[in-house]
Structures are given as C-alpha cells and as structure tokens.
C-alpha cells in the first residue's frame, strides 16, 4: 500500500488542476497494482478525488482539547510517521507550509504545486 498525504487542496481553488496533478503523481503506483491510501486532514477535494477513483482514505484531525497549541504539530507528526510521500498544494496557508517543512526535515519525498503559475517543485 502506497500512502500519500495530500494537503492544501481545498484552498487551492482549482479542483481540475488538483485532480490532474494527483493523477500525474499517483498514476505509476496505480499502474504497478499498488494500492493507494490518501492521508488527509478532512479536505473536501481529497474526499472527492478519493471517492471518484476508489482510493482508500484515512483522516487525521487535530485534537485541540487534548493537545492545546501543539495539536497541529502532533497531528502532522502522526501523519508523517506513516506516509511514503506528500503532495502539497499552495493554498497560501501557514499550516501547509509548516507541514511541508516537517516533511522535508524527515526527508519524505514531496511534490509542491504552486498556485500562481501551476508550477511544481520536488524532492
């Protein structure tokens, strides 16, 4: 099972491009017969994408009551402890950048799609 965290999609505001990029990055795994699981924070675009292509989905939600100001960090740590790769969309939010920096520090392969010109960067 190939596990990928997809973040920032809802704020990206272009579902067609979101879908196109996700297909591009995940096509090889699907063609290899490898099952795919999307890790998400509950974004609607991830739900739509996963449902449309029959991809399993796992939700990671912040527990603000239990973790207080560290809830975001703990949620991200939990997600990143089990993923094979990250697809991040430039939604202009600090949370997405924070998540991406954590993934980079852990040397997790990633794709980052920028909003303004639809370019991407990778590691």
Reported pTM: 0.87
Distance CA 53, CA 29 (A): 13
Predicted confidence band of residue 34 (pLDDT cuts 50, 70, 90): confident
Contact assessment for residue 49 and residue 38, using Cβ atoms and an 8 Å cutoff: yes
The H or E element that residue 4 is part of is strand 2-7
Please say if the pLDDT value at position 117 is more than 60: no
**Burial class of residue 17 in the structure, from the number of CB atoms within 10 Å of its CB (0-12 exposed, 13-18 middle, 19+ buried):** middle
The 10s digit of each residue's pLDDT in 68-105 is 999 999 999 999 999 999 999 988 778 888 899 999 99
CA-nearest of 3, 13, 83, 70 to 38 is 3
**What's the total number of domains in the chain?**
1
30: helix, strand or coil: helix
Domain that holds residue 18: 2-122
Q: What is the CATH number of the domain that holds 106?
A: 3.40.50
């Amino acid at each position: 099972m190939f596990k990928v965290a997809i973040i920032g999609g809802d704020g990206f505001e272009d579902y067609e491009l979101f879908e196109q990029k996700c297909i591009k990055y995940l096509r090889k795994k699907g063609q290899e017969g490898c099952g795919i699981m999307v890790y998400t924070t509950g974004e609607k675009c991830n739900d739509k994408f996963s449902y449309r292509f029959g991809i399993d989905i796992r939700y990671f939600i912040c527990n603000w009551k239990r973790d207080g100001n560290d809830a975001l960090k703990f949620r991200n740590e939990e997600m990143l402890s089990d993923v094979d790769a990250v697809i991040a969309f430039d939604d202009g939010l600090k949370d997405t950048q924070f998540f991406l920096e954590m993934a980079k520090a852990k040397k997790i392969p990633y794709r980052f799609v920028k909003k303004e010109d639809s370019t991407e960067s990778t590691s």
